[in-house]
Chain A
Amino acid sequence: MKISIIDYGAGNLPSVERAFASLGAETERVTRSEQVGAARTIVLPGVGHYSAFVAGLRGENLAEALRAAFERGTPILGICLGLQAMFTSSEEAPGDQGLGFLAGEVRMLPKTVKAPHIGWNQVERVKDGALLRGIPEGAYFYFAHSFAAPAEGSHTAAVCDHGMKFAAVMEAENLMGVQFHPEKSGEAGAAVLGNFLKVAR
């Protein structure tokens, strides 16, 4: 099985590639919408600014290709900003539209806590999902973000709390996402990616 990693011109792809390689999965970088159309399994990593990210996806018609893949039932895993982009919009980029696969606005973490939320945090499962299967309760994952997706909604599989509750793991049929960086989260993170591979298979 080949994992198609969306390469929109920014972000730390090598660590995501390395994490999948260590699980024995083959990866390719895709930059064009036809490649997204042909992909069997898609990973959408993301770091940086929401505005630049969604603009990058639109510019190459990747947004439309991703929507088609989502509607076809292709397994898609969004990481960090990749998860946030699946929602309607973000407070980080008020005028911009997200991919809009899920309803809801990505919000800024409150000023009452240190932001960015950087470091290893635990998550609380709110439904029986596939991505955290077999991973011990209390496991830590590495987060690095200032904005976060809403915790409410049937798609939320696990939440985290940093000044407010937010979606840490999202699962809606073939659409999945994690706010933390599984490629940077040691053994627990590798297990999440391994679970995604199982679902995608």
Chain B
Amino acid sequence: MTLARRIIPCLDVDRGRVVKGIEFKQLRDMGDPEELAARYNREGADELVLLDITASNEGRATFLDTVRRVAQQLNIPFTAGGGIRSLDDGNAVLRAGADKVTVNTAAIERPELISELAAQFGSQAVVLSMDVKRAISTWEVFIRGGRQPAGIDAVTWARDGVRRGAGEILLTSMDRDGTCSGFDCELTSRIAAEVSVPVIASGGARSFEDFREVFTRGSADAALAASIFHAETESIHALKNYLAGEGLPVRLTPPTSAGMHADQVLGEPPRMKS
């Protein structure tokens, strides 16, 4: 019996469309959230994350509608968030069909939000999302979609968030996000060593080896990526076969079409394009 390392595709949505930013800027249209969700569900994703990157009040109804439609496509766990400011916001997302909710900026501004959500829905439903950037000798948390430093150290905040009831940490390296330069393994392993809950590494995935590294060197429990999967150059199925070949515990699912990527089980790790 082994707890599998999770592969989690992420859909950043803006007004009902999946978009991708590079280093938190420059948005590009990547497709329809329902279609991508259905594809990832088929391809063996272990979970799906949907983030509202506009998170404006006007866009709230549109986002909840997207959550509802995406939930219909899945028989795997589903996390949604972006702009969650209150217990009511969290409740709306969960009622729309998500299993877990992420909190970020509002949790920094009012940390009790974490404990309120955990008391109401259980820690397993509360994911603390942290956008982190390297400082000289430490890591700093940023809020408002990475636009503003929060003035708090990442390790301190991770520990505090878990103490307040967060059941998982979604840790995004802003230095690496969208750059395809590999996960920040040093950051991930540091946070993973400090907290008692699973850590989902995010930002910088470029190749199959990057995933192996973040699971081994980075001690991540799960790895999240967006652009490398959206582009459809490589499938989650092939990635998992590669990781299994490297001796990592992953949940293998049957290929979605006959013979798909079967040659990659023992082959050289292919590079992924983004």
One of A12, A22, A118, A123 near B167 (C-beta < 8 A)? A118
Report B42 CB to chain A, min CB distance, Å.
10
Interface residues in chain B, defined as those with a beta carbon under 8 Å from any beta carbon in chain A: 1-4, 6, 41, 46, 71-72, 74-77, 94, 97, 99, 119-125, 167-168, 196-198, 221-222, 251, 253-254
19 further A-B pairs in the complex, CB-CB below 8 A; given A118-B221, A119-B3, A144-B167:
A10-B121, A12-B94, A12-B97, A15-B71, A15-B74, A18-B75, A19-B75, A47-B125, A48-B125, A114-B197, A116-B168, A119-B221, A120-B3, A121-B1, A142-B77, A145-B124, A162-B3, A184-B75, A186-B253
**Contact between B4 and A121, CB atoms less than 8 A apart:** yes
8 nearest interchain CB pairs? A144-B124, A140-B251, A120-B4, A116-B124, A122-B1, A120-B251, A48-B122, A116-B167
Give the docked Cα–Cα distance between A124 and B2 (Å).
11
Closest chain A CB from B5 CB (angstroms) = 8
Chain A residues with CB below 8 A from B198, complex form: 114, 116, 118-119
| 17 A-B pairs with C-beta separation under 8 A | A12-B94, A14-B97, A18-B72, A47-B125, A111-B196, A118-B197, A119-B3, A119-B4, A119-B222, A120-B4, A121-B2, A122-B1, A122-B2, A140-B251, A144-B99, A184-B75, A184-B99
Does chain B have a CB within 8 A of A183? yes
Count chain A residues whose beta carbon lies closer than 8 angstroms to a beta carbon of B.
38
Question: Is A14 in contact with B71, judged by CB distance below 8 angstroms?
Answer: yes
Residues of B within 8 A of A19 (CB): 75
Closest chain A residue, CB of each to CB of B4 = A120
Q: Chain A: which residue is nearest B42 at the CB level?
A: A186
User: Using a Cβ cutoff of 8 Å, how many contacts connect chains A and B?
Assistant: 98
Which B residues lie within 8 Å of A186 (CB)?
41, 75-76, 253
Give every chain A residue within 8 A of B120 (Cβ-Cβ).
48
Task: Closest A residue to B119 by CB, please name it.
Answer: A49
Complex CA distance for A184 and B197, rounded to whole angstroms: 20
A residues touching B (Cβ–Cβ < 8 Å)? 10, 12, 14-15, 18-19, 22, 47-49, 111, 114-124, 140, 142, 144-146, 160-162, 181, 183-187, 189-190
CB distance A116 to B197 under 8 Å?
yes
- Please state if B97 and A15 are interface contacts (CB–CB under 8 Å): yes
In the assembled complex, the Cα of A2 lies from the Cα of B27 at a distance in Å of 47
Task: Give B120's nearest chain A residue, CB to CB.
Answer: A48
Q: Which residues of A sit under 8 angstroms from B122, Cβ to Cβ?
A: 47-49
CA distance A10 to B90 in the complex (A): 13
- CB-based contact A47/B251 at 8 Å: no
Minimum distance in angstroms from B201 CB to a CB of chain A = 14
Q: Given A15-B71, A116-B123, A146-B124 in contact, is the A121-B3 Cβ separation under 8 Å?
A: yes
Minimum distance in angstroms from A136 CB to a CB of chain B? 10
Which residue of the partner chain B has the closest CB to A49?
A: B122
Tell which of B1, B121, B125 has the most Cβ of chain A within 10 Å: B1
Complex contact B99–A15 (CB within 8 A): yes
